[in-house]
């Protein structure tokens, strides 16, 4: 029998297997509330995993009142419609809730029924979730703060396994750093990431994430000084070379590009024609 695992008063989790970025293999589905449930990220597109979630929710017996998405990525929204349909077939209507930007990014894939904004408080039968809009990894990303237990459902702002990709196509390193700073100000008791185990010592970990990004930016600026005019892939090879297999370098160069754009914004790098960069 699949059961929800308790994490904090009124917050439980079921890790669902998803097509996510390795080394992660699962996305955590958090279930918040006592007599009425908010299901955060019923993420799996695979029917056997969707069935496990339904089984766990039915075993609990409480009614699902809403389905909430932290952001639009496929490894977070893959089972949202399936869960809504399964609940509707049982006579329970549960709206899908997300930030307006997430709703817009999901047009044509998942219909978002209600939008939430920064500062909104979601009442989840005994647990109040305070919404923070935390762009950077994804433009419509939100985290949910339960002030009574101090837990923060953190989505893809931090990871218990693997790293957070900032893809400049839809992400922004400056926004990500600002969002991490906001989260650090919460004094959270634990961060509940979408991938991996709960993270305690929340402020220390958030501080580490911020420092690590600044350190990486400095490394990239130094690589530009050493290499001259180069593209992001050459910088990735220089900066990550020893840490990563060659197959991971294209993804690393996306991450490097996010840092280069941030450095350019701060007058520390200059983009050239043809995707080349140099130190400013």
Which residues are at the interface with Zn ion (CB under 5 A)? 73, 156
| Helical (H) or strand (E) element with 62 | none
Least distance to Zn ion, CB of residue 269, Å: 26
Cβ 173 vs Cβ 259: under 8 Å:
yes
Tally the C-alpha atoms within 13 A of residue 14's C-alpha that lie toward its C-beta.
24
Nearer to Zn ion, 102 or 238 (CB): 102
Nearest distance in Å: CB 165, Zn ion: 7
| Contact assessment for residue 142 and residue 70, using Cβ atoms and an 8 Å cutoff | yes
Tokens 């869960």 belong to: 83
Output the smallest distance, CB 149 to Zn ion, in A.
Answer: 24
Distance CA 266, CA 52 (A): 48
Asked if 2 and 56 touch (Cβ cutoff 8 Å), the reply is yes
Tokens of 280: 């400013």
Residue closer to Zn ion, measured from CB, 26 or 73: 73
Q: Which is nearer to Zn ion, 195 or 237 (CB)?
A: 195
Nearest approach, Cβ of residue 151 and Zn ion (Å): 20
Identify which of residues 73 and 145 has a Cβ nearer to Zn ion in the complex.
73
- Tokens for 261? 């754009």
CA gyration radius for the chain?
20
Indicate the residue among 56 and 254 with the shorter CB distance to Zn ion: 254
Query: How many other CB atoms are there within 10 angstroms of residue 161's CB atom?
Result: 14
What is the smallest separation between the CB atom of 142 and Zn ion, expressed in angstroms?
12
């Amino acid at each position: 029998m699949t059961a929800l695992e308790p994490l904090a008063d009124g917050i439980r989790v079921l890790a669902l297997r998803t097509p996510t970025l390795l080394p992660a293999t699962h996305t955590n589905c958090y279930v918040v509330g006592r007599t009425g449930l908010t299901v955060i990220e019923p993420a799996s597109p695979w029917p056997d995993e969707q069935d496990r979630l339904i089984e766990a929710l039915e075993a609990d017996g409480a009614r699902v009142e809403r389905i909430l998405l932290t952001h639009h990525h496929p490894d977070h929204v893959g089972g949202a419609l399936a869960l809504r349909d399964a609940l509707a077939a049982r006579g329970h209507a549960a709206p899908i809730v997300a930030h307006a930007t997430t709703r817009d990014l999901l047009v044509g894939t998942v219909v978002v029924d209600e939008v939430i904004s920064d500062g909104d408080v979601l009442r989840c039968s005994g647990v109040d979730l305070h919404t923070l809009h935390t762009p950077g990894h994804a433009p419509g990303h939100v985290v949910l703060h339960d002030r009574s237990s101090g837990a923060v459902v953190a989505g893809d702002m931090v990871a218990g396994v693997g790293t957070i990709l900032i893809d400049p196509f839809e992400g922004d390193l400056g926004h990500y750093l600002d969002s991490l700073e906001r989260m650090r100000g919460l004094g959270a008791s634990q961060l509940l990431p979408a991938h991996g185990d709960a993270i305690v010592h929340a402020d220390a970990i958030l501080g580490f994430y911020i420092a690590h990004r600044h350190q990486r930016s400095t490394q990239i600026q130094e690589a530009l000084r050493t290499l001259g005019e180069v593209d992001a892939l050459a910088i990735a090879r220089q900066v990550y070379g020893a840490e990563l297999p060659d197959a991971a370098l294209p993804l690393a160069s996306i991450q490097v590009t996010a840092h280069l754009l941030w450095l350019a914004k701060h007058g520390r790098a200059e983009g050239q024609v043809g995707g080349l960069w140099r130190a400013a």
